[in-house]
Amino acid sequence: MAIREIIVLPDKQLRLVSKPIEKVTPEIRKLADDMFETMYDAPGIGLAAIQIAQPLRLITMDISKREKEEGSAEPRVFINPEIIAASEELSTYEEGCLSIPEYYEEVERPAKVRVRFMDLDGKIHEEDAEGLYATCIQHEIDHLNGKLFVDYLSKLKRDRVLKKFTKAAKLSGK
């Protein structure tokens, strides 16, 4: 396992649409392991492969740290995840993103979703998600489609964030 570099706004790779994974290979398993190590180190509760410059439809997630005591990890892998149903009821959560560090904003999304995905054994699952799980899976699937949580904000707020991160990237020479 290895900690990978997380790409940060304004990196244009964050706007790429990730490619579906045809089958689970040793390389995909290693990528998932690296993503968990990177996500836990950051620390975060979700990571899309594109955030470490791998444009593949792969997500790692562990929301247990937010919902339970420390030390009760529940790592989840989602391959080719898709939202197949969403409630009309909305909920608002304060979201952040490892690719937009130290910036948090309230985002409104469907309160409940049904997600279909493949696991590391190649089995297809369908699950209902609500609460933090629903918010996190929608946030990460957005990454796979080249969308960021700041895209849900007003134009004024979004432009302010983009300007801030573009300026920081220039100052750091990236």
Q: How far is C-alpha 14 from the geometric centre of its chain's CA atoms?
A: 11
Strand 100-110 with 90-97, pairing: antiparallel
Distance between CA atoms of 58 and 50, rounded to whole angstroms? Answer: 8
Residues 144 and 165: their CA atoms lie apart, in Å, by 21
DSSP H stretches of helix in the chain:
26-41, 64-67, 131-144, 155-172
Catalytic residue (choose from 102, 105, 126, 140): 140
Residue 89 annotated as catalytic: no
Please report where in the chains the tokens 């398993």 appear, as a residue: 29
Which of the residues are catalytic? 140
